[in-house]
Amino acid sequence: MHQEHLLGQVRSVLDDLFSKSADLYQRPFTKEHWMQLVDVGIMVPCIPSPYGGKLSTKTTFHLLAIASYFALPLSLRIMIIQLLFTSTLVKHASSATKDEIFPRLMAGEIGGIAITEPDHGSDALGMQTYYCPTHQGYSISGMKHWQGLSGETEWFLIAARAKTPDGKLAGNVDFFLHEMSQGGMQIAERYHTPGLLMMQYGKNEINVEIPTHRKLTFPSGKRNPLIMDVFNTARLAFPAMGLGFFTRIQEEAESYAELRQVNKKALKTYDLVKFRLEHLRAWKTICAVLFEHSLTLINVYQPLADKTLLADVYKVIISDLMLKASHSLQQLYGGMGYRRFSFPEMAFADSRPFQILDGSNDILSMQIAWLLIKDMQARRIDNFPQFLQAFELTKLADVSLCDRFMAISPNYDMPQRSLMQLGQLLARVVVVHCLRDAQRHQTLQEGDVECALTVLKTEMHQLFYELVSA
């Protein structure tokens, strides 16, 4: 199946669904709706060819972008099914497991992933869910929460740590494939959310038995490469999930500004409105650049444990801009944007949790700083601007911009708030690098690039002054 044909078919199904059901935002996406997408091949790009698929990161990312144009939580849903769940099986499942599950996914079954625990959110490696070997495989016990698609899936990947003979838990995290029809995974509590109403979340009590062949495998000699692969795969998909969302917000804003009259003048003629529209344009451009950047560098069906820095940058930048863009649209609409289930209200409610999902932006920003400090020390470079001009993901950033950061001396002893600000600043330097690269290859209109750079540099100067004055 050709990519354009598949994307056109999916877009057509979603057009039809959302035009017929104005309240589709207000409830979980049904099995009947999912089967309409399965029938036109939505699972093809995430299933290996021996099972009727054709693995394609490009097609998968374009599907996420199309879905997010209609509804951000729908894109999140597809990301969970195709990337967090299915791509993890593509990379790490045994042959017996692949033979067992891929035909069923092609037929419409879906899976989710269970990592986060009530007492171990950001501290995923400290999870207390454990497993012990049995004669038939493994026994897993624990409690998980905030699992997307709770109560909706036929399968779940469960993360757990081995319990050693002395009762302690091993450092590495392993993953196991559980078939929900076998029982043992009960919803202890449903979580009600102000946004993401197309998804179901909850707290799940786990006491399950897993056959030996359903334990996932990963290369030995590395600490937690599997869990980092899972996290990075999700975070690297953020530009794809964001692209359709930003496109829709920009279209809604421009249409409203064109039609809305204030004092017998179109809203778009006011300077503050032009300012908002310029920022929406810049944020969409940034997302589009990172989307194209991801297509050139990322294969989500190959291990991605070594792509942590890029994954963190994508996630922090895009989720921050999602919230800014949706809030700006709501402000533009005024009171009409606050109506329940209006597009501006749903866009704002749906985008809010993305700064927390798949890792808090505060923590990921600090992690960006740590990774860069580690690289600086490995290269034995003390001069921060010099490092930025040599580092692979920042070397195309403006020299004049980097030179302004001479006053910054990154080190592990910086206060947490300073590490966070440094990470936010570094993430934006990476985006400037990507914009300059796009400019060099003429993949964007010059005016769009300059507009995005202007907005970015304003944010960077503010972060810089906050950092040096701390």
Phi and psi torsions of 210, nearest 5°:
-120, 130
List C-alpha distances in Å: 146 to 66, 80, 132, 185, 358: 25, 13, 24, 14, 11
Name the least confident of 51-55, 221-225, 455-459: 221-225
CA–CA distance, 321 with 242 (Å, rounded to integer): 9
Q: State whether 284 and 387 are in the same domain.
A: yes
Final residue before a domain boundary, out of 221, 239, 271: 221
Q: How many domains does the chain have?
A: 3
Give the domain-ending residue among 187, 221, 255: 221
pLDDT tens, 28-87? 999 999 999 999 999 999 999 999 999 999 999 999 999 999 999 999 999 999 999 999
Asked if residue 144 lies in contact with residue 115, where contact means CB atoms within 8 angstroms, the answer is yes
Cβ within 8 Å of residue 457, ≥6 positions away = 401, 432
Same domain membership, residue 269 and residue 214: no
- Domain span holding position 37: 3-107
Whether 313 and 213 share a structural domain:
no
Q: Which of 196, 221, 246 is the last residue of a domain?
A: 221
Residues of the chain with pLDDT > 90: what percent? Answer: 84
Instruction: Give the single-character DSSP code of 305.
Output: T
CATH number at residue 54: 1.10.540.10
Whether 361 and 290 map to the same domain: the answer is yes
Does residue 343 share a domain with residue 323? yes
175 and 81 fall within a common domain: no
Same domain, 167 and 102: no
Distance CA 439, CA 268 (A): 28
Residues 263 and 396 in one domain: yes
User: What CATH number did the domain enclosing 209 receive?
Assistant: 2.40.110.10
CA 94 to each of CA 212, 213, 240, 257: distance values in angstroms, whole numbers, following the listed order = 10, 6, 29, 54
Please check whether residues 81 and 59 belong to one and the same domain. yes
- pLDDT tens, residue by residue, 352-384: 999 999 889 999 999 999 999 999 999 999 999
Residues 167 and 27 in one domain: no
Residues 212, 234: one domain? no
pLDDT (mean) for 223-228:
78
pTM to 2 decimal places: 0.96
Q: What is the 3-state secondary structure (H, E, C) of 218-257?
A: CCCCCCCHHHHHHHHHHHCCHHHHHHHHHHHHHHHHHHHH
Q: Are residues 187 and 300 in the same domain?
A: no
Strands (E), 54-173: 111-114, 130-133, 137-145, 155-162
CATH number for the domain harbouring residue 259: 1.20.140.10
